[in-house]
Amino acid sequence: MSDKTTHFGFSDVPVGDKARRVRDVFDSVADNYDLMNDMMSFGIHRLWKRYAINMAGLQPGQQVLDLAGGTGDLTRLMSPRVEPGGHIVLSDINAAMLAVGRERLLDNGIHGNVTFAQANAEQLPFPDNSFDLVTMAFGLRNVTDKQRALGAIYRTLKAGGRLLVLEFSQPVTALRPAYDFYSFSILPRLGRLIAKDADSYRYLAESIRMHPNQQTLKGMLERAGFERCDVHNLAGGIVAIHSGYKF
Per residue in 46-105, pLDDT tens? Answer: 999 999 999 999 999 999 999 999 889 999 999 999 999 999 999 999 998 899 999 999
**What integer pLDDT is reported at residue 48 of this predicted model?**
94
**What integer pLDDT is reported at residue 31 of this predicted model?**
74
Q: Residue 3: pLDDT band by 50, 70, 90 thresholds?
A: low
pLDDT at 166 over 70: yes
Residue 90 φ then ψ, to 5°: -90, 115
pLDDT at 28 over 80: no
Three-state DSSP string of the chain: CCCCEEEECCEEEEHHHHHHHHHHHHHHHHHHHHHHHHHHHCCHHHHHHHHHHHHHCCCCCCEEEEECCCCCHHHHHHHHHHCCCCEEEEEECCHHHHHHHHHHHHHCCCCCCEEEEECCCCCCCCCCCCEEEEEEECCHHHCCCHHHHHHHHHHHEEEEEEEEEEEECCCCHHHHHHHHHHHHHHHHHHHHHHHCCHHHHHHHHHHHHHCCCHHHHHHHHHHCCCEEEEEEEEHHHCEEEEEEECC
More confident residue, 236 or 14: 236
CATH of domain 5-245: 3.40.50.150
Over residues 196-229, the pLDDT tens digits come to 777 777 777 788 888 999 999 999 999 999 999 9
pLDDT at 126 over 80: yes
The structure's pTM equals 0.88
CB 113 within 8 A of CB 86: yes
pLDDT at 16 over 80: no
**Mean pLDDT throughout 13-19?**
79
